[in-house]
Amino acid sequence: MPDYMFLLESRLSPEQRAAMMRVQELSAALGFNVYLTGGTVRDLITGASLRDLDFTVEGNPSRIARELEKGGAKVFVEDEKYRHVEVLFAGDCEGSISAAHDDYYVRPGTRPEIRWSTIMEDLRRRDFSLNAIAISLNPASRGLLLDPTNGLSDIEHGEVRALSIHSFTNQPARLLRLLRFAARMGFKVEQRTQEWLTWRSNATCTTPSSRKTPAPSFMLWHGKSGPRWYSRPGKKRNCWK
160 DSSP β-pair partners: 189
Q: For strands 113-116 and 204-206, give the pairing.
A: unpaired
Output the pLDDT for position 200: 66
Q: Out of 3.40.309.10, 3.30.460.10, 3.30.230.30, 3.40.50.970, select the CATH number for domain 4-156.
A: 3.30.460.10
Output the pLDDT for position 107: 72
pLDDT class for 108, splitting at 50, 70, 90? low
pLDDT class for 201, splitting at 50, 70, 90? low
Task: Report whether the peptide linkage leading into residue 172 is cis, meaning its omega lies within 30 degrees of zero.
Answer: no
Output the pLDDT for position 232: 43
Cα distance between residue 77 and residue 74, in whole Å: 9
Q: How far is CA 179 from the centre of its chain?
A: 14
Per-residue pLDDT tens digits for 54-73: 999 999 999 999 999 999 99
Q: Which residues contact 89 (CB under 8 A, 6 or more apart)?
A: 15, 16, 18, 19, 22, 68, 73, 95
Q: pLDDT higher for 91 or 166? A: 91
Q: CA 97, 125, 29, 14 torsion: positive or negative?
A: negative
Percent of the residues in the chain that have a pLDDT greater than 90, as a whole number = 57
First to last CA, the chain: 39
Comma-separated ranges of CATH 3.30.460.10 domains in the chain: 4-156
